[in-house]
Structures are given as C-alpha cells and as structure tokens.
Amino acid sequence: MTSPWDDAGGLTRDAFLGGRLRLDQPRRGYRAGIDPVLLAAFVPARAGDSVLELGCGGGAALLCLGARVGGLDLTGVEIQPHYAELARGNAALNGIAARIVTADLRALPPDLRQRRFDHVIANPPFFDRRQGTAARDSGRDTALAGDTPLADWIAAGSRRLAPRGWMTVIQRADRLADLLTPMAGDLGSIVVRPLCPRAGRDATLVVVQGRKGGRAPLRLAAPLILHYGPTHGQDAEDYTPKVYSALRCGEKLP
C-alpha cells in the first residue's frame, strides 16, 4: 500500500524532550524544530484544562504539552490531511489522548465552534505568502507560509477561548506588529517575551500571550536567551539552563 510520505523519502522517528516523546516526521517536508517545543513550554496549563492547537502539523507542540502536563483535554486542528493523520499516529505512539480534526481554522466544524477552551496555542507560518517564493514541498510551504493571514489565526483562536483563557503564539520577531494589532482588539493582559539567540543579539522570535477578558496593560517581559556565549564555538549543544530544561527535560518556562 502506497504511503503519502513515499514521495517525501518516508518517515523518521525522532526523539523530543530527551526521549520522553517520539514523533514520526517526513524525511523531506515540514519537520518540527525547537519552536513548537518552546511554545508548549510557555503554556500555563494545569491538569484538567482544555487545550486547542490551531495548525498542529504532526502534533509536536500539542504532544509536548501533553507530555509535560497530564490530564489535559487536547484538541488539534490541521488543514493538511496527511499531517493530521501523522498527528493522530504520534498521539497513539506516545499514549497521549488527543483529538485531531482535519479542517481549515477559518471553517471549523460545528461541534468545535460550540466549544470554549482554557488555552489556545498556535505556531503560525513564519513568512508572509505575499513575499518570497513557495517551497517545492507543498506541506512545507503551507507550514512556513500558507495563505491564512495572522489576523485570521488570532480571530479564530480568540473566539474559541473561554473567559479568562489564554492564547499563546510563537512567531518571528519582525512580525510582532502583525500579531499585536489583532490581539489587542480581542484580548487583554498581553505579554510579549522576546527570544534572543545569544546575549547582545536582537530577538529573532517572540512568544505572545493574551487573555480573554484580561485588563492588565501590555507587558514586555525580559528576553529569554537561547544559547551561551557570543558565537557557537563547539560541536555540542550550548543552550542556556532554562532552555535546556524545556527542550530536553520537558520543564515549563516562565
């Protein structure tokens, strides 16, 4: 039987969280890096909470969160059927209960439109489809750019939040304005956390959180430094302790 991943060179099985989590990923195409792991580490979820991930791909962020916090009600939405099926398989592989829905976040099925979640998380495409050229692999192109504006991601997420619920998004730092404009209209108590590759370097990523019904003023949090030293000077990991604990031990980030 032909697999949808045959043209992508098959699948690899990769370890996350120091081996606590295993994920099947296409050898060629979109492969999860540290971004979804960091996203999951920032989510302030507790046992019993409900979580919705928009654009869950193969399930990296959703399942990293499920591995860190037990007893969560997990739901993922993914527009690409092959990746949605991959996320279902990865959830089963790790023994984590999660419902994966194949749908466009702009046209969710009726039962999801009737639900409210304690947390909505998203790792939207980092690039604007109006700029640059498309990737050769369609799955990778959708993950990296896609055709859904960031404002639509925020609108879909905020509508699904329960009162006092949190939306947590990771995005490139140069698209911060594209995030803040729609978030400020729908959410409050917004916190921006810059992620800097090294001390003294500009932030390349930001994690932005907003609360449904929050009233606190916007807060720019202290930056999280990802790596030691001014340059990568050795053939080994050089993550700072907090980042290492999140990536390899599944610890939460503040």
pLDDT of residue 139: 47
Overall average pLDDT of the 188-194 stretch: 98
Q: Domains in the chain, please, with CATH?
A: 17-26+33-227+234-249 (3.40.50.150)
pLDDT of residue 29: 86
158 DSSP assignment: H
pLDDT of residue 133: 53
Contacts of 98 (CB under 8 A, 6+ apart): 59, 62, 63, 66, 74, 75, 76, 87, 88, 91
pLDDT of residue 175: 96
Residue-wise over 104-127: b if at least 16 C-beta within 10 A, else e?
ebeebeeebeeeebbbbbbbbbee
pLDDT of residue 34: 96
Q: Can you give the pTM of this predicted structure?
A: 0.90
> In whole angstroms, what is the distance from residue 12 CA to residue 224 CA?
30
Confidence of residue 55 (pLDDT cuts 50, 70, 90): very high
Looking at the predicted structure, is the pLDDT value of residue 144 above 90?
Answer: no
Q: Which of 9-13, 158-162, 247-251 has the lowest mean pLDDT?
A: 9-13
Confidence of residue 191 (pLDDT cuts 50, 70, 90): very high
> In whole angstroms, what is the distance from residue 201 CA to residue 244 CA?
19
